[in-house]
Amino acid sequence: MALFRRFFYRKPPDRLLEISERVYVFDCCFSTDVLDEDEYKTYMGGIVAQLQDHYADASFMVFNFREGDRRSQISDILSQYDMTVMDYPRQYEGCPLLPLEMIHHFLRSSESWLSLEGQQNVLLMHCERGGWPVLAFMLAGLLLYRKQYTGELKTLEMVYKQAPRELLHLLSPLNPQPSQLRYLQYISRKNFGSEWLPSDTPFALDCIQLSFPPLFDGGRGCRPVLRVYGQDPASTTSNRSSKLLFSTLKTKKHARFYQQEECSMVKIDIHCRVQGDVVLECVHLEDDLVREEIMFRVMFHTTFIRSNVLMLMRDDVDVLWDAKDQFPRGFKAEVLFSDPNAVPSVVTEEVPSEDENGTEGASPEEFFEVEEIFSNAVDGQDGRGESGAHVVKESLQDDDSIEMIWKEEVEHHAFQDCASDEVNHKQEGKMDSNRSASEKNILGERDNSIPSKVIVSNGTSNMESEQ
């Protein structure tokens, strides 16, 4: 069978990397070169021409991970070729991950698109500057979700190998893989299927206990400051948003300096209510109470908290690329939770005013509308909005010295497949000649309720909501 597949294998179009059958990535995502507007149009036009020749009867869906809130350039270009483009954010509160409900929506949409009976749909993946870390994670998640690969670490590393290692280091000051692996493990769970819904039970995040944290100031000790980001408890289920929920005040009273001999156990009280996706960031505060040095960061989802504790070892937290050896082998972070009724619904005492610019959220209706594209095509039934997705504003500060995208005169990439040939299943089927028309009708029936940060673009219909 493997020999049979090799015999009939068709070389993918130039400038595209084949991840799996009918799933491709634009090779500009692996480059640090810059294309001007005309060069970028030429680049995309050449790829589209090859795709249309390679898949004469296919339809194309593009998932793009964009920078900021502006409408993406790829949407403007590919809509001219009657290609549907879905724009996703490229991070969540500084982490190269997306909220779990948004990840779930992406996986379901991709699976539906690739599995439509009698059609040979193609999925194209693209990211704008700085988006490679989240794109790599989403690709690994898709391969695991479709059971084409097994092993979260092996799959993630395999995808990351498709680009120079330096690219990940350049785009992410912290190693994001520990948190990304945690979310890939969520995806791999048996109950993370099409009907998965997050738990609506909140938690009270009581405190964090650090055992043997890294030492600063020449080994004298550390002054830890914690920040907690997550779903705004004041937001409604129809308009979820994320914000800074807690921050240690930068005073000597609240941000205590722990001497080396005291660092075998450091307890930091938090007492805030959390639910859903949570980012916990710990920094060391210098003696001037102004300068900071990142200690670690971790992202998790409260649905998977067991026995009211999240135990984190040295390999479970995101740290600077060259800082892992600074963490003693005995390092441990215990995040302790309790009954949410034990704390007020909104904690404001220790949240600095300058960080109160909460990130805006998208309503479940934004993805409910998009799901109709897939669910109507599969069974003709009405879609059901199951993914109340969070969409957040960019909080990363781009380094002006980093010019990303979008051109690289390189030879064709060959995907480094480390799985057995048996996991690649050839799907056959003729393309319905009315497929494009039906998709246009589905898109044309949509209203304008999609928030501006999630845009679905089509050759004849560009939907962008008004806030």
Residues marked as catalytic: 127
From CA 20, how far away is CA 184, in angstroms rounded?
A: 18
Angle formed by the axes of helices 177-188 and 132-145, nearest 10°: 20
Contact 31, 137 (CB under 8 A): no
Q: Quick one: which of 30, 187, 91 has its CA closest to 453?
A: 91
C-alpha torsion 374→108→60→161, nearest 10: 180
Task: Look up residue 12 and give its two tokens.
Answer: 């993918």
In angstroms, the Cα distances linking 33 to 130, 165, 170 are 12, 16, 13
Among 274, 328, 324, smallest CA distance to 301 is for 274
Q: CA 239, CA 302: separation in Å to the nearest integer?
A: 19
The residue type at 108: R
- Distance in angstroms (rounded) separating the CA atoms of residues 125 and 19: 10
Any idea of the CA torsion for 329, 297, 284, 294, to the nearest 10 degrees? 100
User: What's the CA gap between 204 and 396, in Å, rounded?
Assistant: 28
DSSP H helices, 55-195, are 73-78, 100-115, 132-145, 152-160, 165-171, 177-188
